[in-house]
Chains A and B, each alone.
Chain A
């Protein structure tokens, strides 16, 4: 991008340059293009931003504003919903549950994936292809496929051994690994492959063991990729709904399910729903936007190539 900006608009008016008007240089695209761009991107911007605006503005409205006909602006601005959300449902507990479950799933899958990806990226061994194909293919299976058997397995383990897996955070973390682990392994293989092998071979020659090479050379060099994978895993686990809807109970419920508590038999506290949604979104959106560059690079290193 930078070199196009500094490129001169047009060379001296030789015959060739006369034929190619100045307008066509990338720094000054033709009006038709500029106007198409303005219109299309504005429409897309409105489409994208509307729900975000509704979430934000509704969270600052008094209850009367959200139960009656829709209002674009609050009749009077209030932060009361942000105070009430913590009492209407045990939001703090749901928050903590989400944090524990998503955090543990992320840490487990990234740590395990680092070892696995290192093996796949640096060694040639029998079954390597089978392993990568299995990892890739489990990513395409729908969660519903694993939900029924895992549910039955947990219920049955509970019945035969008395270990209450079903409804526990541990069981939920385990089910979250069904999608965070394959993703982490797959992405880290791509990332490790992009680190020159000479680097860790040099470390091996210098007397590091394979683990030394991994932790002193490969992992430090792959930090952006590891961060990207961790953030992405955390985001998906934080937003997970299917397993949480079946595998949690009153004390282990995550935000995904807990937010449904603002709808009572008689009334939906939409302003509180929106406030709680915003509170639940802030950590991941902030993380995403802060680490956007790493994330994009990490995601596409695996996906594009």
Chain B
């Protein structure tokens, strides 16, 4: 607001434009061109960086996927021989070990994503709807619910890995020692249980985001809708079903897509929970690619898998956007 006062406080408006005009005339580029060029000038730093950090690496990544880029060529990857589609062929040959492992990892990732996104979304909606009205302690609870999202992921997940330790963790202390649900303390970070451990940790970590976005979306629903419903005699549960949930639909569509992309691509949670080599039941795709690349040092194969992953994500996103936008058209 102070800026609006400056013209009034300063000298009258006419004089200032004068000197620039003469100066402009000297290094005369037509004003139209200057104006047209300005947005590009403003964009230049972002464009250069975009090129440097996104476009060039993606190009290089695609080139890499067509090369035989094993350990001996890492330092001089330009010399690595071309291998055509070999990397892709190996990746999708589901009868051979590499392809089989990739397929299994893909399956695990899909199951994990569906479960984790579904649960995170459900918890987020539930909490947001229940906290729409004010009550005592609401602010405090809200801050608590947002904490998992604010914590650095490594601090949070390391704590979970401590809680999931077989011999000295909280989970087994409760499940085995206090409740006596199992005969012997189960392993949570190796074997089949690790899938569920991963889902729980991922849900704990992501549901606050859904909560945050949905809370904000709920504030945009006009109060008059509820008041009108009340006049018509609708109870609070009916209001939730008939007003709150339908109003959230457009936000939900974006939210679910974002949650899907994050969860599907998640590297941090599995890496911090299990390390470089995740148990088979929790071998998410990004860990799998990381391991294929940095443990076995076959960058060609890793790149081919990355490209396949990218194609899959683009496909899912396109289909999803198409389906949801069609639904929206029907509504309107």
Interface residues, chain A, CB within 8 Å of chain B?
Answer: 1, 3-5, 16, 19-20, 24-26, 29-30, 32-33, 36-37, 40-41, 44-45, 47-52, 54-55, 58, 66-70, 112-113, 115-116, 118-120, 123, 125, 128, 131, 134-135, 138, 140-150, 152-153, 155-156, 159, 174-175, 177-178, 181-182, 185, 199, 202-203, 206-207, 209-210, 216-217, 220, 235, 238-239, 241-242, 245-246, 255-256, 259, 270, 273-274, 277-278, 280-281, 284-285, 288-289, 292, 296-297, 299-300, 303-304
- Write out the residue numbers on chain A whose beta carbons fall within 8 Å of the beta carbon of B153: 239, 241, 256
Q: Is the CB of B64 within 8 A of A148?
A: yes
Contacting A144 at CB < 8 Å: which of B152, B213, B233, B265?
B265
The verdict on A152 contacting B251 (CB below 8 Å), with A48-B147, A50-B170, A181-B46 known, is no
Q: What 7 new A-B contacts, CB under 8 Å, besides A140-B317, A149-B64, A289-B146? A: A50-B163, A50-B170, A207-B13, A277-B158, A281-B155, A288-B149, A299-B212
- Nearest-neighbor residue (CB-CB) of A66 within chain B: B168
- Write out the residue numbers on chain B whose beta carbons fall within 8 Å of the beta carbon of A58: 162
- Write out the residue numbers on chain B whose beta carbons fall within 8 Å of the beta carbon of A278: 155
- The yes or no answer to B274 lying at the interface (CB within 8 A) is no
- Write out the residue numbers on chain B whose beta carbons fall within 8 Å of the beta carbon of A220: 2-3
- The yes or no answer to B66 lying at the interface (CB within 8 A) is no
Q: Is the CB of B50 within 8 A of A181?
A: yes
Interface centre among B64, B75, B264 (most CB of A within 10 A): B75
The verdict on A141 contacting B313 (CB below 8 Å), with A20-B230, A149-B61 known, is yes
Q: Is the CB of A181 within 8 A of B155?
A: no
- Write out the residue numbers on chain B whose beta carbons fall within 8 Å of the beta carbon of A235: 150, 152
Q: Is the CB of A185 within 8 A of B265?
A: no
The verdict on A123 contacting B143 (CB below 8 Å), with A146-B53, A152-B74 known, is no
Q: Is the CB of A125 within 8 A of B46?
A: no
The verdict on A115 contacting B213 (CB below 8 Å), with A25-B230, A239-B154 known, is no
Contacting A125 at CB < 8 Å: which of B17, B40, B169, B217?
B40
A142 to B288, CA, bound (A): 13
- Nearest-neighbor residue (CB-CB) of B201 within chain A: A51
Q: How many A-B residue pairs have CB under 8 A?
A: 301
- Write out the residue numbers on chain B whose beta carbons fall within 8 Å of the beta carbon of A30: 235-236
Q: Is the CB of A149 within 8 A of B159?
A: no
- The yes or no answer to B272 lying at the interface (CB within 8 A) is yes
- The yes or no answer to B223 lying at the interface (CB within 8 A) is yes
- The yes or no answer to B332 lying at the interface (CB within 8 A) is no
- The yes or no answer to B39 lying at the interface (CB within 8 A) is yes
Q: What is the minimal beta-carbon distance from A34 to any residue of chain B, in angstroms? A: 8
Q: What is the minimal beta-carbon distance from B21 to any residue of chain A, in angstroms? A: 10
- Write out the residue numbers on chain A whose beta carbons fall within 8 Å of the beta carbon of B231: 16, 20
- Write out the residue numbers on chain A whose beta carbons fall within 8 Å of the beta carbon of B141: 41, 45
The verdict on A116 contacting B46 (CB below 8 Å), with A3-B223, A123-B38 known, is yes
Nearest first, the 8 A-B pairs at minimum CB distance are: A142-B265, A277-B155, A300-B216, A70-B173, A116-B46, A288-B150, A119-B42, A239-B152
- Write out the residue numbers on chain B whose beta carbons fall within 8 Å of the beta carbon of A245: 271
Stretch at the interface among B97-105, B110-118, B126-134, B323-331: B126-134
Interface centre among A49, A199, A239 (most CB of B within 10 A): A239
A280 to B46, CA, bound (A): 31
Q: Is the CB of A29 within 8 A of B60?
A: no
A-B contact pairs, 25 of them (CB 8 A): A24-B234, A33-B237, A36-B130, A37-B131, A45-B145, A48-B147, A48-B148, A54-B162, A54-B170, A112-B45, A125-B39, A128-B39, A146-B54, A146-B58, A148-B306, A155-B74, A203-B3, A207-B17, A209-B20, A256-B153, A281-B155, A288-B146, A289-B143, A300-B217, A303-B258
Interface residues of B: mostly helix, strand, loop or mixed?
helix
- Write out the residue numbers on chain A whose beta carbons fall within 8 Å of the beta carbon of B52: 174
Interface residues, chain B, CB within 8 Å of chain A?
Answer: 2-4, 6-7, 13, 16-17, 20, 36, 38-40, 42-43, 45-47, 49-50, 52-54, 56-58, 60-61, 64, 74-78, 123, 126-127, 130-131, 133-135, 141, 143-156, 158-160, 162-163, 167-170, 172-173, 177, 204, 208, 212-213, 215-217, 220, 223, 226, 230-231, 233-237, 251, 254-255, 258, 261, 264-265, 267-268, 271-272, 286, 289-290, 293-294, 299, 302-303, 306, 309-310, 313, 317
- Nearest-neighbor residue (CB-CB) of B237 within chain A: A33
Q: Is the CB of B151 within 8 A of A178?
A: no
- Write out the residue numbers on chain B whose beta carbons fall within 8 Å of the beta carbon of A216: 3, 6
- Write out the residue numbers on chain A whose beta carbons fall within 8 Å of the beta carbon of B56: 149, 153
Interface centre among A16, A49, A285 (most CB of B within 10 A): A285
A12 to B218, CA, bound (A): 30
Q: What is the minimal beta-carbon distance from A63 to any residue of chain B, in angstroms? A: 11
- Write out the residue numbers on chain B whose beta carbons fall within 8 Å of the beta carbon of A24: 230, 233-236
A156 to B162, CA, bound (A): 39
Contacting A242 at CB < 8 Å: which of B46, B208, B271?
B271
Contacting A48 at CB < 8 Å: which of B144, B163, B212, B236?
B144
- Nearest-neighbor residue (CB-CB) of B69 within chain A: A152
Q: Is the CB of B57 within 8 A of A29?
A: no
Interface centre among A36, A143, A246 (most CB of B within 10 A): A143
Q: Is the CB of B152 within 8 A of A238?
A: yes
- Nearest-neighbor residue (CB-CB) of A71 within chain B: B173
A241 to B271, CA, bound (A): 9
Q: Is the CB of B46 within 8 A of A112?
A: yes
A47 to B163, CA, bound (A): 13
Q: Is the CB of B265 within 8 A of A206?
A: no
A234 to B49, CA, bound (A): 18
Q: Is the CB of A280 within 8 A of B152?
A: yes
Q: What is the minimal beta-carbon distance from A61 to any residue of chain B, in angstroms? A: 11
- Write out the residue numbers on chain A whose beta carbons fall within 8 Å of the beta carbon of B168: 66-70, 270
Q: Is the CB of A55 within 8 A of B155?
A: yes
Q: Is the CB of A178 within 8 A of B236?
A: no
